[in-house]
Amino acid sequence: MDLALAGEVAIVTGGSRGIGRAVVSELLSEGVRVATGSRHPGECQGFDAGPDQLLVMPLDVTDAQSIDRFVAQVVNHWGPVHMLVNNAGKAYPGTFDTLTDDDWRRDIDVKLMAQMRMARRVLQDMPDGGRIVNMTAIFGKQPDPRFFASSVNRAACTAFTKTLAKAVAARGIRVNAVSIGFVYSGQWEGKPQEFFQETVKAFSVPLGRFGDASEASHAVTFLLSHAASYLTGVILDVDGGMAAYL
């Protein structure tokens, strides 16, 4: 299927590893011009694209000035931004007893506040018909005390996605989310094989394995594409069947 994305401009946050890296690669292979960044932009390397198709710059999604600099440079270089993938993120694991106020603040800052700040800035330069995809977690819809802060703050990302979708629909801009269960990525690197087996058992993942980063990026690319032209405010689970709700 021709996704008709070639020539468009996308910003993907956190493209150095894991799901973000897979999204960058897939969009580049579709002919999209991609700008990506992270706090360590030197790690956003090894893509099969030249400077006419790929921009890599420093970006800290918890810092409004860094976001402003990043987006302004993309717009100066390529013009309007058609697509935003709010992928950058980090987990602050812990139980209700162990999470500190700082953990809570940092977690909501890198999840909800980062997505909100990026969307607010990019929407200034997004033409009608643009698309935003937010990365979230199924714990935001199926809370679990083993991932306490993620459960609470990803619920906010879900509400943010659906509310923003309604706010910008009149411009023809679609806002959706991909809700991850367990996908193998940078954050799980170095864990022993038993960890993955025990986790899929403990969380009853019907497909019996972690997903691959490319399985998450396929869902992102679909939501960005014109094949999803009547979808907005959708939270698409990529979780091997783990979510128990209807």
Instruction: Give the residue with the Cβ less far from ligand NAP, 18 or 130.
Output: 18
Which are the contacts of 188, defined by CB distance < 8 A and separation ≥ 6? 182, 195, 196, 210
Instruction: Give the residue with the Cβ less far from ligand NAP, 204 or 230.
Output: 204
CB of 210 to ligand NAP, least distance (A): 7
Q: Both tokens of residue 67?
A: 């976001």
Q: Contact at 8 Å (CB) between 217 and 22? A: yes
Instruction: Give the residue with the Cβ less far from ligand NAP, 43 or 103.
Output: 43
Instruction: Give the residue with the Cβ less far from ligand NAP, 70 or 78.
Output: 70
Give the H/E segment covering residue 219: helix 213-224
Residues linked to residue 211 through DSSP beta bridges, in sequence order:
183
Q: Point out which residues bind ligand NAP (CB under 6 A).
A: 13-14, 16-20, 38-40, 43, 59-62, 87-91, 110, 135, 137, 180, 182-183, 185-187
Instruction: Give the residue with the Cβ less far from ligand NAP, 39 or 69.
Output: 39
Instruction: Give the residue with the Cβ less far from ligand NAP, 91 or 169.
Output: 91
3-state secondary structure of 44: coil
Of 213, 212, 208, 219, the closest CA to residue 241 belongs to 208
Distance of CA 24 to the CA centre of its chain: 11
CB of 89 to ligand NAP, least distance (A): 2
CB of 74 to ligand NAP, least distance (A): 15
Q: Contact at 8 Å (CB) between 212 and 183? A: yes
CB of 172 to ligand NAP, least distance (A): 26
Q: Reduced to 3 DSSP states, what percent helix, strand and coil does the chain have, rounded to the nearest 5?
A: 45, 15, 40
* Closest residue to ligand NAP using C-beta atoms: 89
Q: Both tokens of residue 233?
A: 């405010």
CB of 124 to ligand NAP, least distance (A): 20
CB of 183 to ligand NAP, least distance (A): 4
